[in-house]
Amino acid sequence: MRTSLARPPGYGSRCSAKNPQTVGRVESSFSSSRPIKEPRGPTSPPAGGAAFHEFARDIKIEHSLFALPFAFLGLLAALRTGRGTVTLPLLLLVLLAMVTARSAAMGFNRLLDAEIDARNPRTKDRAIPSGRLSKKTAAIIVFLFSLAFVDIAFLINATAGILSPIALAILFGYSSTKRHTALCHLVLGITLSLAPLGGWIAVAGMPIPELFLLAAGMILWVAGFDILYSLLDLDFDRRHGIRSLPALIGPFRARILAALLHAAAFSLFLAFGRQLDLGTAWNLSCLAVGLLLTAEHILARNPRGIPIAFFHLNAAVGFLLLGGLYFS
């Protein structure tokens, strides 16, 4: 925002043309009693700690909790099958790995989407398009988070460290898919499905085949709610050539497809429990998830209900499944 105490354009020239001497006396009297401040230029983006705070607020770093239960699902599943042990330092390393990976991915997405966000009324007030954070500063923070994630992964174990650059490549790759394919919703699901796989790797090395049932369920679940969330940008996506399934097939078919994806995800969650013989507690948690997903689709009928479904109901899914596995 530009702040200025200068007079309106043309004020001085019009007065001077009529009576230069009078104007001179008035200006001299004014300056002697209250000096005129020079106009300020545009406010510079913050740096240092303030920039990091702005970055963290923009990517909603607290939403890392959204994916954290799924990492612990993989970790707990490894323990449930008698593989490996868990210590408090390992839990902290997994927590830090999830936060740094998500922060790097979200920051990269903000960088890549800055011009699109500036044109979208829903996202124009994000940190980069609004000028509160420079692209250079955001890029440095993304690099630091990426470096921290790789370092933490090597501290967890060698397998996690070696695979960490591949994980980052997948996370960063999602950001460009919306420009090329309407299947971007599934790619987003793939990024989140890395969480339980990473949790398992942290404890037991390479995952067992049964774990991919859980990962596949997550892919379909995330794709389903991302399709619903994309309904908010339907008109914008069509005007600017953004590839989303609602823009491609229309809102009615998109809602049906999202419901089918969630039904398939529900079945895969149940199948994962059967394969590991998780029992009643897991089945009850899956039932609770099914009820949440049903409520999500009811809320999503009204555009005002979509953010509630996206940020609140979906955030509970991971905790419900984690509780079901813990008590199984």
- In this predicted structure, what is the pLDDT of residue 278? 95
In sequence order, which residues have a C-beta less than 8 Å from that of residue 249 and are 6 or more positions away?
Answer: 257
Number of domains the chain is built from = 1
Contact partners, residue 179, CB within 8 Å, separation at least 6: 241, 242, 243
How high is the pLDDT of residue 208? 93
Residue 137 resides in a domain: yes
Residue 171 located in a structural domain: yes
Residue 57 domain-assigned (yes or no): yes
pLDDT score of 163: 97
Asked whether residue 42 is domain-assigned, the answer is no
| pLDDT computed for residue 173 by the predictor | 93
pLDDT at 5: 39
Query: Cβ distance 171 to 191 under 8 Å?
Result: yes
- Write the pLDDT tens digit of every residue in 144-197: 999 999 999 999 999 999 999 999 999 999 988 988 899 999 999 999 999 999
The Cα–Cα gap between 265 and 282 comes to: 15
Give domain status of residue 9, yes or no. Answer: no
CATH of the domain at 305: 1.10.357.140
In a domain, 34, yes or no: no
Specify the pLDDT at position 64.
79
Helices 211-230, 184-204: axis angle to 10 degrees equals: 150
User: In which domain, by residue range, is 282 found?
Assistant: 52-326
Give the pLDDT score at 23: 42
CA-based nearest residue to 184, from 132, 138, 116: 116
The per-residue DSSP string of 42-110 comes to: PPPPP-THHHHHHHHHHTTGGGGGGTHHHHHHHHHHHHHTT-----HHHHHHHHHHHHHHHHHHHHHHH
Contact 142, 104 (CB under 8 A): yes
Q: Would you say residue 119 lies in a domain?
A: yes
Domain membership flag for residue 12: no
- Tens-level pLDDT at each residue, the chain (328 residues): 444 434 344 434 444 344 444 444 444 443 444 444 443 444 566 666 889 999 999 998 877 777 789 999 999 999 988 888 899 999 999 999 999 999 999 999 999 999 989 999 989 999 999 999 999 999 999 999 999 999 999 999 999 999 999 999 999 999 889 888 999 999 999 999 999 999 999 999 999 999 999 999 999 999 999 999 999 999 988 888 888 999 999 999 999 999 999 999 999 999 999 999 999 999 999 999 999 999 999 999 888 888 887 778 888 999 999 999 999 8
Q: What is the pTM of this model?
A: 0.81
